[in-house]
């Protein structure tokens, strides 16, 4: 897969579809590699006429890691999230990560793009809209929130899955990933445990960097509440959320939709904090409809 220099770091990325089509940038969540955007999901978007781009965020996958910055302890992160304790020094925040995505567009010669983010990725694309709205054609925030933790506090067991100790080997990584999926995944859809184990193993083999996940969590906590600022976002916006999400409960998505003028909210029953295969048709259709709203608003700049 190719790499690009962007915002002073290297980003690993992959593209799907015709580069002559409107660009659609996919931004993944906390500790998750770009391969968490299943290539079949990416291909569906490409088949609908979008030049689809997925990439590894900083500190995950094959993009630049920030190992020299140190590692915040899980306890300090939990105390900051749940108890309001001060955060340790952090090397970057969500706005730095947003600049990475914009820098990738620059490196690829793309002036404007539709942006779609999941979980932390939703927070990152919100930050893109706040700093670089002129570069966005449309915005889609999936299973995410505005940064107002009073609205969407994770359930206790979901927080435990997020804050579990780093695995010491491949087997522990696979079983830990499966256990987390059982807790935060979609209760309304069957979990293919064999496939979940396979994907966890592939992720471990591709790049294993639990320290990066801790730094990303610190970046989330170090970033201010975006609720008031999001009132200035005017690009067509879609918010997708699972009704049964224990990690970022539904009020987080509802608050995001309220914060952005004209945003549409799609709530999917049975969906938790993942994108099960069964919801792909609905999610892809919704993303495409939102992108088409942008084309209808300004057809001359949609490509």
Distance CA 10, CA 13 (A): 10
Residue of 119, 144, 186, 223 with catalytic role: 119
Known catalytic residue at 96: no
Distance of CA 271 to the CA centre of its chain: 16
Known catalytic residue at 245: yes
Give which of 248, 256, 266, 254 is closest to 226, Cα–Cα.
256
Q: Which residue carries 């965020």 as its tokens? A: 57
Would you call 109 exposed, middle or buried from its count of C-beta atoms within 10 A (0-12, 13-18, 19+)? exposed
Name the CA dihedral angle for 153, 154, 155, 158, rounded to a multiple of 10 degrees: -170
Span between the terminal Cα atoms of the chain, in Å:
25
Residue of 59, 96, 244, 245 with catalytic role: 245
Helices (H), the chain: 39-47, 74-83, 94-107, 120-132, 156-162, 170-184, 193-206, 210-222, 250-259, 280-297
Active site residues: 119, 245, 273
């Amino acid at each position: 897969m190719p790499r690009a220099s962007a915002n002073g770091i290297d980003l690993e990325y992959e593209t799907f579809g015709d580069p002559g089509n409107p660009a659609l940038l996919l931004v993944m969540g906390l500790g998750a590699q770009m391969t968490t955007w299943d290539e079949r999901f990416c291909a569906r978007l490409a088949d609908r006429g979008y030049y689809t781009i997925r990439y590894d965020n900083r500190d995950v996958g094959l993009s630049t890691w920030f190992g020299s910055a140190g590692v915040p302890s899980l306890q300090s992160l939990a105390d900051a999230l749940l108890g309001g304790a001060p955060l340790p020094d952090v090397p970057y925040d969500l706005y730095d990560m947003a600049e990475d995505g914009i820098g990738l567009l620059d490196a690829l010669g793309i002036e404007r793009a539709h942006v779609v983010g999941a979980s932390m990725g939703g927070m990152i694309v919100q930050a893109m809209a706040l700093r670089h709205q002129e570069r966005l054609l449309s915005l889609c925030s999936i299973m995410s929130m505005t940064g107002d933790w009073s609205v969407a506090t994770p359930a206790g067991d979901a927080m435990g899955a997020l804050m579990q100790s780093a695995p010491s080997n491949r087997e522990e990584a696979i079983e830990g990933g499966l256990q987390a999926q059982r807790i935060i995944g979609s209760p309304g859809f069957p979990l293919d445990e064999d496939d979940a184990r396979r994907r966890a193993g592939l992720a471990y083999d591709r790049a294993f960097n639990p320290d990066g996940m801790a730094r990303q969590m610190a970046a989330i906590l170090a970033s201010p509440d975006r609720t008031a600022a999001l009132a200035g976002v005017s690009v067509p916006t879609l918010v997708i959320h699972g009704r049964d999400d224990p990690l970022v409960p539904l009020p987080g998505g509802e608050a995001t939709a309220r914060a952005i003028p004209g945003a549409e909210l799609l709530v999917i029953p049975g969906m938790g904090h993942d994108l099960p295969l069964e919801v792909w048709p609905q999610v892809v259709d919704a993303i495409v409809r939102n992108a088409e709203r942008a084309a209808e608003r300004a057809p001359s700049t949609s490509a």
